[in-house]
Structure 1
Amino acid sequence: MQKLLLDLNVVLDYLDVSRPRHKAVSDFMNRNKGKVKFLFASYHYDTLFYLVKRLKLEQEVIDKFLKDFDVNLVSTSGRNIIDAKSFKDIEDGILVSVCRRIGDDCYIITYDEEMIRNFERAVRPEVFKVEEPKTIPMLDLKLEYLSLSEDLEESLLRAATRARYILGDEVRQLEEKIANYVGTKYAVGVSSGTDALVLSLRALAIQRKKKEFFDKEDLVITTPFTFTATGEAILRAGATPLFVDIDIDTYNIDPKQIEKAVKKYGKRVKGIIPVHLYGQPCNMDEIMRIAKENDLFVVEDCAQSLGAKWNGKQTGSFGDMGCFSFFPTKPLGGFGDGGMITTNDEKLYELLLMLRKHGGRDKYNVEYIGYNARLDTIQAAVLLEKFKHLDDFNERRREIAMNYNEQLKDIEWIKTPYEHPKAYHVYHQYTVGVMNGKRDEFQKKLKEKGIQTMIYYPVPLYKMKVFAKNGMEVIGELENVQKVEKEVVSLPIEPLLGKEEIKSILNKVLNDS
């Protein structure tokens, strides 16, 4: 999506109906609404307030303008001012420097003739035309940042000024918000989603076996159709992964196969890690029933499912613990790695607090083999701001998914995602099945047309060298996994995708059908 940096003169033309260019700017703004990202420099924002008062307009006029056109402020740093000194008009130079920082897809919309002559991406409103994007990415993290930049930067500055970089107030606040949101008593911020899984399993080993680690003969049931971290965490906790097949419709672990595994291996099975893949909740009614009947622990892998619900209840609140990832691409993503563990068990909560800080309450006299696995305060500051938009972004993903479903439903060789009647799917990924051996050619054609796609996950865990070398058990032939690994492909479902981009994606998919 193109980013348009609005010059002050353009905004004033829009706000003041008496100015001769008001109609031209109004037409421009309305014509491009939803097709581009409108931006406004923070140093112009203060000037705008002063000028609006002189024009005897109310402050609400500015607020309405920003809201109506989803205009976001972008900061002006000291570096921008230094870079601008080479310009005859330093204000022009600052704006050009900001535009260059944003990137090649940013344009300045202005009536400043000097700027238009000296900067190739400065254009009048009447001249600008929306270009169809050359590439539509799976996720546009730059666009997300620009959309939230004002609040994000304020939160970061506040955290930096407080200078409590290790387990600062922001970590505690985020833990409270996530616990309240998910519906658990406790939440523990950790350094990644992977570490969330490892610490959870370690805490369960200490609680249930009174040992630091599980034993090699201990089995933990999970799906092989997931990211490496799920199985890797089982190995790192000392146990052996037991892979079972998935449900062909949801791509999630099949409870019937879990039951088969328990019957075959008996007391060797210690627990289950269901993965809420792509944002679709697993069948937690059946999984919790099996766990209760066989005294098994349940650790939910919620890396892709923050906000997803099963029968109205949030994922991460069913099992002994729920493990979330804040990797930048996740539903709630930071500026780096981060994770969270939710639980209702006070003893597990206390163990998690120790394990994330080297294994003890007293760092000079630790009790367990621990980790340096704390969530950074700076990441928590970012996540607190992004958390405010989580539900809106999830709803937007659902809207895009429903649009895709409607447009693709009549293509016989494309299987659109299934959503279980009890599930609230957040569509972290919009993953279709491309049948009849057409997946690779389909992906190749979309790439040629500028549509980025991804295959999650091309190599199931049971085929990976790490599990062959370090131990695993497998139930059956995993027929469903073998089938879907050759068919699945994910289309872009960025919550900030514009209408024109979604239309472009659908047109190109439908033209290849």
Structure 2
Amino acid sequence: MDLPLIAPRPARLSRMIAQLEAVEASGTFSNNGPVVQQFEQEMTERLFGGRGACLAVANATLGLMLALRHALHGRDPARSLVIMPSFTFAATAQAALWCGATPLLADCDPDDWALDTAAIGRLIERYGRRIGAIVPYATFGNSIDLDHYAWLARRHDLAVVVDAAASLGSQDAEGRAFGTDAPFPVVFSMHATKTFATSEGGVVYCRDAATIAALRSMANFGFDGARSATLPGLNAKLAEVPALLALAKLDEIDAVSAHRETLAARYRERLGRFTLQRPAGHRQAMQFFPVLLPPTLAPHRDAIVARLAERGIGAGAYFSPHLAEQPHFRETCLIDDLPVTHDIAARAVVLPVTDAMTIADVDRVAQTFGQVCDAMPRPIRAAAAVPADRELAAVIIGGGPAGTALLCAATKAGRLEQMGALGTTIVDRGDRVGAGLLGRYGITSDSSAETFLTADAALPPGLSLAGEPEEQAIRAHIGGLGVPLPKVGAYLDRLGSVLSERLCALGGAVLTGHEVVSARHGADGLWHVRARERADGSSVELSARSIVVATGGHQPAIRLVEEKVAGHTLVERCGSRLIQSDTLLREEGVEALRHLLGDRGRPLRIAIVGGSTSAISCAARLLKAQPSLALNAGSITVLHRRPLRPFYPSAEAARADGYDDFTADDICPVSGFVYRLAGFRLEARELVIHSLGINGRRGDPRLRLHRMADDDAALRILDDADCVVAAFGYRPNALPLLDEGGRAIRLRSDGPTHGAMVDDRCRLVDTAGAPVPGAFGIGLAAGYVPSGQLGGERSFRGQANGLWLWQNDVGRIIVDQLLARATDEAELGGARTASVAQ
């Protein structure tokens, strides 16, 4: 076989005669000898920037055993459950079992194939204090979010040990060695089959040098100084000769990993029609290249591998059977529902990535793999809704309120016909286009009924919703303080249905039930968007001049670690008393709060941290809860840093109401509105102006406001609260964007400053502030701030969200650019054709 799946390539001992002679002369062959010490020091300096420390061990399984035993040492023995993915190697579970713990096998994420964070949350809720540790696996050397696990550890008092067996040579999103600055042990393998190939060996890294010192003692029978055991221990020491191999490999690992990443990028380019692992971080130390077969080909996997072997190409299945399918682990582990793991393990094929391979070798493997797959029998299925070879004007990723708003803006501008004719396509993971998750929130809108109805007024004759039940439900709230969001959701779903049907009739397309896995900007200037059908896992690739990211926002748990109140994070201060505003605002949110609080037998004390509309909406929701919560005077406190500002239609109206806390910079020069962007509206506004006592109003005595200045009073409020609601706003939902080499494009919103995702023309911008070609963003957490002719007060700091903006000015900005790019390229293509003809 001329292209084997794995071709071990450790450094050659035969070329290390002088070093071997030096080991012999030293008389030290093990027991933390000079070569091992040199390797550990150079590994720490060269890979991890001199931060923390490394321990070399005889193999990675022993490293896992040591790290996990140390993590559980001295803890309550009843906390014996260890969460880990079922989609991993047997060593992960064996290490836990040898430590006397019970593996709790969890599902993996469908995109990056690592431990599913939602499954972790569900298991923590189910098993509570019985869980002592989590062992996430960096699947196939792909980076995982270590900050999230650090937060979980603090939030739930859990130990964390990272299985990073295949990750030596991988780099995180900052371009650092994966694991750098991890506050818990990260265990790597140096087995001959790994990218960091020696013969046998492992490394444990941790930012905390004291942890490594303890593990060093445990690796030497638990001896601490004298030959007397003070800790649980075993013999896990790396000998001097394999340390020579490791030291030599350290010299070449960067070049080896970079070469393998180049091969992997070529695979991603050539195998785009298949389902691939979503890459994370700056570089992945590829041991081999994993790919998922279409579900219809899963039964033919063994035949596909055999056909490749016949053509001189090594391939295989990996983590199949996964842990829960292996007899020993079925008998000794607790097993959660594993639908994604079952699916991936049944379809995974790994293709060769070796040090000796070239780009031409990858092309041969990819072409042969595709031919073999195409030759396999498969059932007849309907053609895709969008021709794979059609060049589209745009793919709108997300058909919720923001994505649908683009169609509304195009309709109002008379340009929907052009968008349809040029092949605009919407992709959404749900079964319809329209409201997304908006209708699942149990609060009222911060837009008026009249604002919503402007969308219906823009519909062409014959498409109006006037008189339909959804429209009448909105119309009933004209003049009121907003509309209940479940009614808004139903209306937007109906509006989305009408607009999407119109788009399709004009030549566009809508793919519902499809989830966009990645979008790659190719050398041809097109965006190649891969969408997976959620029902059966099949995928389709769309090619478009532009993409629009309208995927909405979320409240990441890491915000609870990053944001500080009076010098303390909420996780440190509040622990299990903490929830996020998004949870409370959902329809079932108050019941979730009741479950958290239980029956206290006294009035509740609830603190809400934040000065956003979400924070005030949380307060309103608690005050209106039915049946009512046990609240008395001052039960609810909103802690905010900036002054709370009410909206007014004009400076005259504000002064007439007795409000003069504004300057010329707070007045929109276009509309004359006071605090047009920063001001609270409708129900939230009423709550604020009463709580502030404007014009003699009296607020609800159950609610009080506390403006923070990193004061002790804020800490006392947090410490006394039965529940703390974090209302820190939203960040964009992640969508993997790749450049033509398959590397991640890092957006400014994901960078250290967490800046706006878009610029003043709604273009996505990278961490350097440069626009990403042909990529636009709209919606919750996009970070767009109106300016110039769009208006807005000069003093505004923050991001502007609002359906009216998306359906009008913001949507129009994007629509104009989408059509300009599509028509300019069409004209350029026509000119090229004419030139060739001449």
Cα deviations by residue, 1:428-457 (Å, 9 ceiling, x for unpaired) = 221000113323332221112111112111
Aligned match of 2:361 in 480, 501, 512?
A: 501
Partner residue of 2:335 out of 465, 469, 474: 474
Structure 2 distance, partners of 1:268, 1:423, is 36
Q: Secondary structure at the match of 1:220?
A: strand
Alignment of 1:287-306 (within 5 A): 287-306=149-168
Give the residue type in structure 1 aligned to 2:278: Y
Q: Does 1:201 align with 2:61?
A: no
Identity across the alignment (%): 24
**8 Å CA contact 1:190, 1:341 repeated in 2:** yes
Residues 461, 156 of structure 1: CA spacing in aligned structure 2 closer, same or farther, 3 A cutoff? same
Task: Work out which structure has the larger RCO, using CA pairs closer than 8 Å and 6 or more positions apart in sequence.
Answer: 1
- Distance, in Å, in 1 between the alignment partners of 2:80 and 2:312 is 47
| Residues 403-444 of structure 1: CA deviation (Å, up to 9, x unaligned) | 1111222x4xx2233213x45322222100011332333222
Letter in 1 for 2:264: A
* SS of aligned partner of 2:103: strand
Would you say the 8 A contact 1:216–1:239 is kept in 2? no
Aligned twin of 2:102: 240
Q: Deviations over 1:328-376 (max 9, x none)?
A: 11121212x2111112334422321211111112564222342111001
Q: What does residue 488 of structure 1 align with?
A: 348
Residues 193-216 of structure 1 show CA distances to partners (whole Å, capped at 9, x for unaligned) of 00000001121223x42xxxx736
Matched, 1:365 2:228: yes
Q: Counterpart in 2 of 1:259?
A: 121
Residue 385 of structure 1: how far off its partner (Å): 0.6
Displacement after TM superposition at 1:319 (Å) = 4.1
Q: Counterpart of 1:437 in 2: which secondary structure?
A: helix
- Counterparts of 2:156 and 2:79, CA distance in 1: 17
Give the 3-state SS of the residue equivalent to 2:166 in structure 1: coil
Aligned 1:429-448 pairs, distance under 5 A: 429-438=288-297, 439-448=301-310
> In structure 2, what is the equivalent of residue 323 of structure 1?
187
Match for residue 52 of structure 2? 185
TM-score with structure 2 length normalisation?
Answer: 0.42
* Residue 140, structure 1, aligned to residue 7, structure 2: yes
Rounded to whole Å, the distance in 2 between the matches of 1:498 and 1:157 is 36
Task: State the SS of the aligned residue for 2:144.
Answer: coil
Deviations 1:47-98 (A, max 9, x none): xxxxxxxxxxxxxxxxxxxxxxxxxxxxxxxxxxxxxxxxxxxxxxxxxxxx
Quote the offset at 1:378 in angstroms.
0.4
**Alpha-carbon distance in structure 2 between the residues aligned to 1:287 and 1:370:** 26
- The one-letter code matched in structure 2 to 1:440 is D
Deviates more, 1:176-185 or 1:244-253: 176-185
Tell me the C-alpha RMSD between the 2 structures. 2.2
Q: Secondary structure at the match of 2:114?
A: coil
Task: Answer with 1 or 2: which has the greater Rg.
Answer: 2
Change (3 A) 1:365 1:304: same
Q: What is the rounded CA distance, in whole Å, between the counterparts of 1:135 and 1:215 in structure 2?
A: 52
Instruction: Report the AA paired with residue 156 of structure 2.
Output: N
CA contact (8 A) 2:263 2:359 kept: no
Normalization by structure 1: what TM-score?
0.67
Within 5 Å, which residues of 2 pair with 1:69-88?
Answer: none
List alignment gaps of at least 5 residues for structure 1.
Answer: 1-133
Q: Which runs of 5+ in 2 are unaligned?
A: 375-838
Structure 2 Cα separation of the partners of residues 364 and 161 of structure 1: 26
Relative to its length, the structure with more helix (as a share) is 1
SS in 2 for 1:176: helix
- Give the CA deviation at 1:484: 0.5
- Cα distance change, pair 159–301 in 1 and its aligned pair in 2 (3 A): same
Partner of 1:338: 201
**Match 2:320 to one of 451, 458, 468:** 458
Aligned counterparts of 1:262 and 1:154: Cα–Cα separation in 2: 54
Instruction: For residue 260 of structure 1, report the CA deviation from its aligned partner.
Output: 1.2
C-alpha distance in 2 between matches for 1:351 and 1:441: 49
Aligned partner (choices 164, 169, 179) of residue 28 of structure 2: 164
Secondary structure in 2 matching 1:222: strand
Distance 1:358 1:306, change over 3 A: same
CA contact (8 A) 2:72 2:133 kept: no
**Could you tell which deviates more after superposition, 249-258 or 362-371?**
362-371
- Residue 154 of structure 1 deviates from its aligned partner by 4.5
Partner of 1:270: 132
Deviations 1:262-298 (A, max 9, x none): 1111111112111111111123233322222112121
Contact 1:454 1:490 in 2 (8 A): yes
Distance 1:497 1:153 in 2: 29
Contact 1:326 1:338 in 2 (8 A): yes
Query: What residue number does 2:254 align with?
Result: 391
Amino acid at match of 1:230: T
Q: Distance in 2 between matches of 1:455 and 1:152?
A: 36
Alpha-carbon distance in structure 2 between the residues aligned to 1:424 and 1:296: 29
In the alignment, the residues of structure 2 paired with residue 138 and residue 252 of structure 1 have an alpha-carbon distance, to the nearest angstrom, of 22
Give the aligned residue type for 1:248.
P
Distance in 1, matches of 2:206 and 2:346, equals 36
Change (3 A) 1:426 1:364: closer
Aligned residue number for residue 238 of structure 2: 375
Q: Which one is further off, 380-389 or 441-450?
A: 441-450
2:275 maps to 1:425: no
Helix, strand or coil for the counterpart of 2:321? coil
SS in 2 for 1:135: coil
